[in-house]
Amino acid sequence: MAKRGFTLSEMLVVMVILGIVTAATIPMFTMKKKMKDFEVSSLTCARTQLAADLNSAACVAAVSKAQYGQEKAINTLSFLVNNGTSAAEKTAASTILKEACDNGGNKACEYFVSSCQKDSTLCDTGGLYDLRSYLELMPETNDFSKFLIYDQAKALYDSNNTNITTAVDNCCCPLINMACAIKGQTECPWIRHYGGANWDSGYSIAISGNYIYITGIESSDNILGGANKIFVMKLNKSDGTSVWKKYYGGIIDDQGYSIAVSGGYIYVAGHEWSDSVGGYDILVMRLDESTGTAVWKKHYGGIKSDYGESIVISGGYIYVSGHELSDTAGFYDACVMKLDASNGTVVWKKRYGGGSIEYACSLVVSGGYIYVTGHESSVTAGNADIYVMKLNTSDGISVWKKRYGGAGEDLGYSIAVSGDYVYVTGYETSDTAGDADIYVMKLNTSDGTSVWKKRYGGTLFDMGYSIAVSGDYLYITGYELSDVAGTYDALVMKLNTSDGSSIWTRHYGGANEEYAWSIAVSGDYLYVTGNEVSDSSAGSEDIFVMKLSTDQTSNMGADWTADSVPMGAGWTADGVALAAGWTADVTIGALWTANGAAIKTPTVAFDSPWTTGATQTTGGTGVPMGANWTMDDVLIRKTTDGSNYWIVGLAKDGVPE
């Protein structure tokens, strides 16, 4: 029979068979090649032993070869990290690379940087060792890896590599770490809370050097009973951790309202009932800045209730404002005292007011004058007007005193001076579309005439409580109800001093109540204190402290309808001189029976109403907080459902957006 060729169908069958054989054979050759390319000890340690014992012979060899940059070892481990047969194998390979990097292996460290550079998903793998695990190293870490990773990552960051830049930016803060060092950032924003099982609140904040000082009231570590104790805390400015925290007071009710720091001493003003001659007496304490130990503590007042609300130190003197009932022809008179800072001796004390109620809520000293704000109802067409006074520091005699407001209730809570201008904030109801708006005024120091006056808020109750000025900007804190996540939210605003226009406004808080009472500026950061309920853990309210960048973006919603709106026709009193209704502009007289009397010092436990511990013998020098102070510089937490914690103003735990 003649030999014939393949038919077309037979040729197709042969081609299919050859294709199958080839497809099956190539991976075998490839795998053989890959197996030949693997470094044996690296493969054994990662795949067989899962790096369970880095002291095994295979793992010691694998780490050593990666440390000294053997290309085959580095390639093997890199392959297994990305293509391992199991999660355990991938983790083992990354562990070997990390050990080699930590021992000074430049090529091993380079793997973590270059893998992130090439693939953003490898910057933060969420379980394996990766670049993020190095970027979060603290400054005190001294591994070789820290310096190698820093040099490699910084070079790429400086050249604006997208993946490296994103990874570094995401890792810097809330603590200062390697990522921050790469960015050149020396400070981080943070939000922390402090307190125990009861009611604790921060009312005033001051900055000195590298430290934050807070005073307010606390009842969580109150082993003696009574309503409240004064507390003072010293915190590290860098991260909010406490250096020391102490409480002061007796068996009734004692409250710290204002704090200042000068010349190595802390000065606190407030009011106390535990060792008073009447109801409340004004209290002033001088504490050692390093320890919180009381140098002296004195009370001032008469047989009725007298309150201290604001304190300033200037030129070796203490200036205190508040309101007093013990020596007044009306209900309450505003009062201002000048004391010798060394011992609390009174230089002069004056009261100001008429037949009704006057409060002096805040004061500041500038250029040889005292500027005071508060509210008055003796000379007003409404319920209450804001007033501002300019006094001589030498004798407290008024240079001018003016009122501002309308037919509603308008209150002055905080004052600041910069150059030739006075800035005041509080809340007003005379010219608002809501229940109350925050207002800010800029006045001339020469005569109190207004340069501009603006309001901020929505349809509900919004209040400015503290103001600070730095350069060309004003910073206001308070609380607001018009655009909240829960009930009241803490609020911070940044305004232009030139016209009061808003640069940004932010609210912070959760499903419950947050109030911000005091603000201070230092460098590029703001420091705010108040009290919060949304993340108060086992307590009813905790103290909170926030460190925020001065460079923010607004997060207010559509309900924040009034944003730097000029005052309208409802603001009828604009710098009107206080008339004859203010009958008292006089020295406080003999009815103030406690005129700088020292708080009593007990010699045995419970010898005096001013005690600060079960075995107190030191007269209130400051008892450290005890076990009941359960929340000590804890970062505010964030949840996605917003059921318990702060849900606005935070992007990740403890860091503002």
Please report the beta strands in 523-630, taking only residues with DSSP state E, as ranges in sequence order. 525-532, 542-549, 562-566, 573-577, 584-587, 594-598, 623-624
Mean pLDDT, residues 50-55 taken together: 93
Mean pLDDT, residues 225-249 taken together: 86
Burial of 2 (0-12, 13-18, 19+ CB in 10 A): exposed
Cα 509 from Cα 500, distance rounded (Å): 25
CA 258 to each of CA 203, 279, 490, 508, 537: distance values in angstroms, whole numbers, following the listed order: 7, 20, 19, 23, 26
On the question of pLDDT at 23 being above 60, the answer is no
Q: What is the pLDDT of residue 578?
A: 58
If pLDDT is split at 50, 70 and 90, which confidence band does 106 have?
Answer: very high
Residues 565-596 pLDDT 10s: 776 777 665 666 655 555 554 565 665 555 55
The residue ranges of every structural domain in the chain are 34-103, 451-571+627-657
220 or 15: which carries more pLDDT confidence?
A: 220
Which of 468, 469, 492 lies closest to 480 in space, CA to CA? 492
Q: What is the pLDDT of residue 353?
A: 86
On the question of pLDDT at 261 being above 50, the answer is yes
β-strand partners of 616: none
Q: Positive or negative CA dihedral for 170, 173, 177, 180?
A: positive
Tally Cβ neighbours within 10 Å of residue 153.
Answer: 27
Residues 628-652 pLDDT 10s: 555 545 555 544 443 444 445 544 4
Which of 287, 299, 298 lies closest to 233 in space, CA to CA? 287
On the question of pLDDT at 513 being above 60, the answer is yes
On the question of pLDDT at 509 being above 90, the answer is no
If pLDDT is split at 50, 70 and 90, which confidence band does 141 have?
Answer: confident
Q: Summarize the chain as % helix, strand, coil (round to 5).
A: 20, 40, 40
Q: Which residue has the tokens 């604006």?
A: 160
On the question of pLDDT at 627 being above 80, the answer is no
Q: What is the pLDDT of residue 657?
A: 41
611 or 382: which carries more pLDDT confidence?
A: 382
Cα 248 from Cα 254, distance rounded (Å): 8
Burial of 590 (0-12, 13-18, 19+ CB in 10 A): exposed
CA 448 to each of CA 276, 308, 423, 459: distance values in angstroms, whole numbers, following the listed order: 37, 25, 10, 30
Q: What is the pLDDT of residue 515?
A: 93
Q: What is the pLDDT of residue 224?
A: 56
Which of 547, 551, 550, 552 lies closest to 654 in space, CA to CA? 547
CA 402 to each of CA 34, 182, 336, 587: distance values in angstroms, whole numbers, following the listed order: 87, 53, 17, 20
622 or 43: which carries more pLDDT confidence?
A: 43
Lowest mean per-residue pLDDT among 24-38, 478-492, 537-551, 564-578:
24-38
